[in-house]
Amino acid sequence: MPNGIIFDLDGTLIDSRADLALAVNLTRAELGLPPIPEAQVVGYVGEGVRVLLARALPERPEALERALAINQRHYRAHLLDRTRLYPGVATALERLRQRDLRLMVVTNKPREFTDLILDGLGIGRLMAAVVGGGDCPGLKPDPAPLLAALDQTGCAAAGSWMAGDNFTDLEAGRRAGLNRCFCRYGFGDPRGESWDLAVDSLTELADHLGA
């Protein structure tokens, strides 16, 4: 069976902090609330949009369902305003693809937005599988989305990798039986999870795998 690499999206392939924070603060404004700092919003990212908004709107817990719809509208309008690939990502992905590895994205971000971002930044064509939030019953750190991506590409867990910046990625990778690469340049929190390799650029992962 071929080997593959599963990548997280936010904080791993893309720096999306500004656009995520903008959408949250536009949502807060529409609900009559003042903005909160970007760094505060970023600290809430990683466990899906429902958790993000529940944390970002503690003043209005009863408005969560309405906030989800509002945030979806604002994020769709602004998701590529300032979101960019991290340095070295495009080159590393091309190198890994040329080594005949199957590249996948598994993210807790809704699939609609994931596809728009991947295609808008020119890397969607490199992915053999994409699993977004809502494609599986569970979200990372549940390993089910990772196992779904492996199943779609025919890759074995043994010998494959999960690359991400957050405990959700590392825990999901551990539970799925994958090697784990911690992307320490991202904005996630490993929360005591372990890893097999830590990198400051995806170029280092490509080097490690001989690509």
Which pLDDT belongs to residue 112? 95
Residue 125 burial (CB count, 10 A): 8
User: What pLDDT, on the 0 to 100 scale, is given for residue 177?
Assistant: 98
Kindly state whether residues 47 and 91 are assigned to the same domain. Answer: no
Predicted local distance difference test score (pLDDT) of residue 211: 74
* 32 and 104 within one domain: no
What whole-number distance in Å separates Cα of residue 76 and Cα of residue 20? 10
Question: Residue 163: what pLDDT?
Answer: 98
Which residues are marked as active site? 8
Is 56 found in the same domain as 108?
Answer: no
Instruction: Single out the residue in 78, 94, 116 at which a domain terminates.
Output: 78
Residues 165 and 203 reside in one and the same domain: yes
Q: What is the pLDDT of residues 156-205, one digit of tens each?
A: 999 999 999 999 999 999 999 999 999 999 999 999 999 999 999 999 99
Question: Do both 89 and 115 map to the same domain?
Answer: yes
Residues 33 and 133 in one domain: no
102 and 49 both lie in a single domain: no
For the entire predicted model, the pTM comes to 0.96
Domain extent at residue 52: 17-78
Identify the pLDDT of residue 2.
Answer: 72
Q: Domain containing 74 — which CATH number?
A: 1.10.150
Question: Do residues 107 and 141 share a domain?
Answer: yes
64 and 136 part of one domain: no
φ, ψ of residue 10 in degrees (nearest 5): -70, 125
Is there a contact between 76 and 192 (Cβ–Cβ < 8 Å)?
Answer: no
- The last residue of one of the domains, among 78, 103, 119, is 78
- Tell me: do 40 and 97 sit in the same domain: no
How far is residue 169's CA from residue 106's CA, in Å, rounded to a whole number? Answer: 9
- How many structural domains compose the chain? 2
Q: Supply 189's token pair.
A: 């929190």
Low-confidence ranges of the chain (pLDDT < 70): 1
Asked if residue 181 and residue 109 are part of one domain, the reply reads yes
Same-domain check for residues 9 and 21: no
- State the SS3 of the chain: CCCEEEECCECCCEECHHHHHHHHHHHHHHCCCCCCCHHHHHCCCCCCHHHHHHHHCCCCHHHHHHHHHHHHHHHHHHCCCCCEECCCHHHHHHHHHHCCCEEEEEEEEEHHHHHHHHHHCCCHHHCCEEEEECCCCCCCCCCHHHHHHHHHHCCCCCCCEEEECCHHHHHHHHHHCCEEEEECCCCCCCCCCCCCEEECCHHHHHHHCCC
